[in-house]
Amino acid sequence: MVAAAVLPAGLEAQRVIVRGVVVSAETGEGIPYAVVVLRPQFSQRFTDDAGRFAFVEVAAGTYQVSVRQVGYRPLDTTVAVGTVVGLRFELRRVAVELAAITVSADAVCTEPGPPDPARDSALAIVFDQLRENAARYHLLADQYPFRYRMVRRLTQEFSSGDSRFVHGDTIEIRSNDRWRYRPGRVVTYGRGSLSQVKVVHLPELPDLADPNFHRTHCFRLAGLDSLDGRPHARVEFRAAAALDEADVDGSAWLDTAGYRLRRIAIRLTRPERADQEISAVSAIVTFREELPFLLVVERIFALTTRRRPGAGGLVGRTEEQRLVGVEFRRRPGESR
């Protein structure tokens, strides 16, 4: 439902505040941290914890409005802005019929790109939810920068089954300071004193919303899977066969209660391109809600396996990172 004043003649030069609320069509309750865009003039922003939003200094005229939230169908409409504007948008929950998980041989990705709704509507819907999870993290990191601290632990694994602790520390990471995915460029050389060392970059959550990632991967809805005893939709992605360099395959799990992303599993393709001594690189990333509908990384567990044992029977190494704190410069939904 949209309510807005009719635009009287001669008001084109006036500027007003556009206020509104985003609510659930099923319950009427405000939806916190939904994303609202007022085009063509205003960038996207989050609603507050009650679903309210405001755009200031809005010139009278006609605008395109887009409203998005994980677990809800997107809404796009047109509003006329006059002297007094009060908007109310109702979003309906996503409903997808999912079959039980199916196991299939790894298919070769020959037709990469976002799924076609006409060919597989269920996959297209779940894929959009995956993309929305990633896109809103990108918005969060961009407009509401935050710092997070991770406790890191590095160990070596040996053919005897023993593990040896190597190093532990606490690292601080800024949300808007990160490597960005480039097709076939997940292995690069380090910087400074590490300029001769190859570094493997595993795509992060925002990269799942990157068109470059979409156009170089195929996506498949594996079906309804169980994760921590609860039902989840599992989406699998495969790197295009045309990519000659190392890239990534993986899976993503979204809970069916609200289609929030809970886990990503990633593995490096063509690991020999990273290092002739490496046989496999994989990682599992789990997420938690720092605020309703807003995800942050909770834990990363990465495993690198050697092609043949090294000194002392060394067969691999692990790196584990666990979140210990998040600090926002400005909370989402707050005015600038």
Structurally, how many domains does the chain consist of? 2
Alpha-carbon gap, residue 51 to 68, rounded angstroms: 12
Do 220 and 306 belong together in one domain?
A: yes
Domain edge (last residue) among 69, 91, 113: 91
- Which of 257, 259, 241, 261 is CA-nearest to residue 249? 241
Whether 163 and 37 share a structural domain: no
Report yes or no on 198 lying in a domain.
yes
Amino acid occupying residue 11: L
Q: Which amino acid appears at position 253 of this protein?
A: W
Question: Which of 91, 109, 139 is the last residue before a domain boundary?
Answer: 91
Check whether residue 85 and residue 225 sit in a common domain. Answer: no
Is the same domain home to 156 and 32? no
pTM, two decimal places: 0.87
Assess whether 34 and 173 both reside in one domain: no
183 is a domain residue: yes
- The CATH code of the domain that includes 47 is 2.60.40.10
144/65 same-domain check: no
Structure token digits, residue 190: 């380090």
Q: Is residue 207 part of a domain?
A: yes
Q: Could you tell me if residue 105 is inside a domain?
A: no
d(CA 305, CA 279): 6
**76, 157: one domain:** no
Same domain, 173 and 297: yes
Q: Is residue 7 part of a domain?
A: no
For residues 203 and 76, membership in a common domain is answered with no
The angle subtended at Cα 258 by Cα 87 and Cα 331, nearest 5°, is: 60
pLDDT value at residue 73? 94
Q: Is residue 40 part of a domain?
A: yes
* Distance (Å, whole) CA 315 – CA 247: 22
CB-based contacts of 257: which residues, under 8 Å, 6+ apart? 71, 230
CATH number at residue 220: 2.50.20
**Cα 246 from Cα 55, distance rounded (Å):** 44
Residues 165 and 280 in one domain: yes
Domain enclosing residue 313, as ranges:
121-328
Divide the 336 residues of the chain into consecutive groups of 10 and give the mean pLDDT of each group. 45 74 96 93 88 90 93 93 80 89 77 94 95 89 88 95 95 85 80 57 88 96 92 95 93 94 95 86 93 90 93 94 90 61
Domain co-membership, 216 together with 304: yes
- What pLDDT is stored for residue 335 in this prediction? 54
CA 243 centroid distance within chain: 23
Backbone angles phi, psi at 240, to 5 degrees: -60, 140
Whose CA is closest to 46, among 29, 24, 21, 71? 21
Residue 320 lies in a domain: yes
Q: Is 285 found in the same domain as 142?
A: yes
Residue 238: how many CB atoms within 10 A of its CB?
21
Q: Could you tell me if residue 336 is inside a domain?
A: no
- pLDDT given for residue 189 in this prediction: 57
pLDDT value at position 6?
41
Question: CA nearest 129: which of 90, 71, 214?
Answer: 71
Q: What pLDDT, on a 0 to 100 scale, did the predictor assign at position 2?
A: 47
3-class SS of residue 196: coil
**Bridge partners (DSSP) listed for residue 169:** 152
